Structure 1
């Protein structure tokens, strides 16, 4: 049986349906550990591989024809929680497929900390690492000590309010708001879990303390800082230099850039196009970007340097024992090169939106086409494909304007009208 491991999407499920009767394959989801689609000669189903009483077992989650990817992940997460508590989830999983409610009651005395731990397990499997770290540092912080050992169903809106006030009175205004924001998300999730015996979110209607403010997210890189990035990476290894330059030239998220594959670079009407896979986008949608002159230069350098490898920006050293070495570069090397100039990779997106609006006169819809915000795209699948084709010329014009702006920034930082050699490959 062929084994494939990758991020799943709706197209993955469709491909697996097409493989029924043709070959046997197991497609493993790297977003939810242990979850797979197993295709056999006459059927295809979701399965979960996990340990029960110390032994590896296989649990049937449901047929892929009637269970969606989201439902499969949710059921798998709940089944894993049951396994951690020593319960066999087979009967519960069977009930989900048959529509019969079988709700385990073994978790009713769970404490706040225990419930938070389960929530963090879910977040770690389904959300970005930064999101997981944010929730972990907040919900397991000293501020929640007063409720840490209380039964989760006994924690009230007043308890959370008191934690907010304690942070606010200690001069931690932003933390006060973060306590509320993360508590709302956590309790909303808890109220949806059958084992929690909590039907409603007790803090759903809670509000921030008057006068509490969050940290402003207004760091806008100067033109000189933007230019300095391209000058400072001149002598960096090709895969790092190209990744940093591509991020700056396209204003894409750092994870989108570092996970770029060689197969994502295509030719459309004799022009290079970066066809970003939905798996590499936060929006989980395909995103097409036409290459400008400098984009094409750094991409071609990466292609030459990484010939025959899957990723354009491959890692150069193993991260752990058993690592096959066939992954992409970590985010830190890219992040550090940009941070050395006084701003973050996400600030580069802010710079694109701000300068393109102020200098190039780009409208918000134009900016969203590049940043891939929801308002720049249609919700209908057919319309989205059509819009991708129609907007390619518009996107190229926007990126050309941005590239011209970057060239001016480099001239400013360099003190002369000369570009680094790698940008004129």
Structure 2
């Protein structure tokens, strides 16, 4: 045990100015440490035969009298087999935990959501300008914050979530799922970081009891252009010079989803074999493998023209005019919308699918997806054109990257299928361009 030193007075302690350790007496192990210009109280003790120093307060913020009282408390802990240093650390952690708990308890949903966004960006789960983060923030601003933004995070209930979802519950089930997932993600993150122990109030089996019963969902397809109107539409489209128009044209010629066309990169094009190879990871059904698309003469002409005029600032074939990223889905929709309304003004009838009606019973405007894929598939088996006898429907399914599961599957996925698909894609391009006057 440390020896009990001579008991110093306040005045004597005050006069200690040379750097070093000074036993101040009154309690064995209590020292004043001088590190000019500062002075610190230190409790020196032994634990398992090893000396330990606990620097616990600053002088004169803590007086000699209080320092002795605290040193006595440390000695009592030591006698109970408790390490004073570890005890003090735990006390500090407890105090910090209580402070954090109080701070978290005062956080609104908006504050927690903003902390969540910041964390995701810092840990590179979201890119700051990414589309996904933009959509997430849009859901927060337009649907979530108006209802629960200023309510304490800990107080959010199922009733609050039901109030958010109620206006969109029946007509927008996909949006409902996304918003519920957004809120659930914030709660999952907060629980993982121990910011809350509250369960997410988003369990579907609970929410459905607080929301109206949904009417049976009507089956909706992507509106497609009737096959006999394709040549006229293509003549109209081909005359437009925007990058969005070329992208839409390319998507239809290749019978691909607009997302694949918009995100197509030059590295995916093999100019020697005249093929576009879309990696499996970019396909809707990645398990079907890479999609090899034979490129028609017309599709190759689009690529060659764009390549010649490319400034090399983007990896994308159809770059956005702003930033060089890929085109947005809205850009292709805008092309169709413009063409549709211009045709209405000229002829009284736009580009519509007569078999797909809106809630008012009117034919719906065509979509890029429907025209590129459904129109192609219908054309491939159109009996008026004789294509039902000319083309094998399995080849059409392979062109669309649909999995063929019958006994012919293996044969059609070998090189013979590429040849047949090449012939089909060229025939489709010829039909699309049949309304265009060309000098070949």
| TM-score of the pair, normalised by structure 1 | 0.52
> Which position in structure 2 is the counterpart of 1:348?
371
Out of 234, 237, 248, the position equivalent to 1:233 is 237
> Which position in structure 1 is the counterpart of 2:162?
161
What CA distance in whole angstroms lies between the structure 2 residues aligned with 1:366 and 1:161?
48
Spell out the pairing of 1:24-423 with structure 2 (5 A cutoff). 107=104, 109-117=106-114, 125=126, 135-141=136-142, 145-165=146-166, 167=167, 173-175=170-172, 177=173, 180-193=176-189, 194-195=192-193, 196-198=195-197, 200-206=199-205, 207=208, 209-212=212-215, 216-237=220-241, 242-266=246-270, 271-277=273-279, 286-306=290-310, 311=315, 313=317, 315=319, 319=322, 334-339=332-337, 340-341=339-340, 342-352=365-375, 355=378, 359=382, 369-372=398-401, 390-391=413-414, 393-394=416-417, 397-398=420-421, 400-401=423-424, 404-405=427-428, 407-408=430-431, 411=434, 414=435, 419-421=436-438
Contact 1:292 1:396 in 2 (8 A): no
Contact 2:154 2:198 in 1 (8 A): no
Aligned residue pairs total: 292
By how many angstroms is 1:248 displaced?
0.8
> Which position in structure 1 is the counterpart of 2:15?
none
Bigger mean CA offset, 392-401 vs 338-347: 392-401
What CA distance in whole angstroms lies between the structure 2 residues aligned with 1:107 and 1:364?
61
Contact 2:270 2:276 in 1 (8 A): yes
What CA distance in whole angstroms lies between the structure 2 residues aligned with 1:303 and 1:294?
14
Distance 1:307-1:117 versus aligned 2 partners, 3 A rule:
closer
> Which consecutive residues of structure 2, in runs of 5 or more, have no partner in the other structure?
1-99, 341-364
What is the alpha-carbon root mean square deviation over aligned residues?
4.8
> Which position in structure 1 is the counterpart of 2:352?
none
| CA displacement 1:209-242 (0-9 Å, x = unmatched) | 3234678454222235533442123333385554
Residue 421 of structure 1: SS of its match in structure 2?
coil
Distance 1:219-1:333 versus aligned 2 partners, 3 A rule:
closer
Contact 2:373 2:400 in 1 (8 A): no
> Which position in structure 2 is the counterpart of 1:37?
none
> Which position in structure 1 is the counterpart of 2:97?
none
Residue 233 of structure 1: SS of its match in structure 2?
helix
By how many angstroms is 1:279 displaced?
7.5
What CA distance in whole angstroms lies between the structure 1 residues aligned with 2:243 and 2:164?
46
Residue 151 of structure 2: SS of its match in structure 1?
coil
Distance 1:353-1:230 versus aligned 2 partners, 3 A rule:
closer
User: Based on CA coordinates, which of the two structures has the bigger radius of gyration?
Assistant: 2
What CA distance in whole angstroms lies between the structure 1 residues aligned with 2:114 and 2:397?
36
Residue 237 of structure 1: SS of its match in structure 2?
coil
Bigger mean CA offset, 215-224 vs 180-189: 215-224
Distance 1:184-1:310 versus aligned 2 partners, 3 A rule:
closer
By how many angstroms is 1:273 displaced?
1.2
What CA distance in whole angstroms lies between the structure 2 residues aligned with 1:218 and 1:316?
25
Distance 1:249-1:185 versus aligned 2 partners, 3 A rule:
same
By how many angstroms is 1:294 displaced?
2.9
Residue 202 of structure 1: SS of its match in structure 2?
coil
What CA distance in whole angstroms lies between the structure 2 residues aligned with 1:353 and 1:153?
53
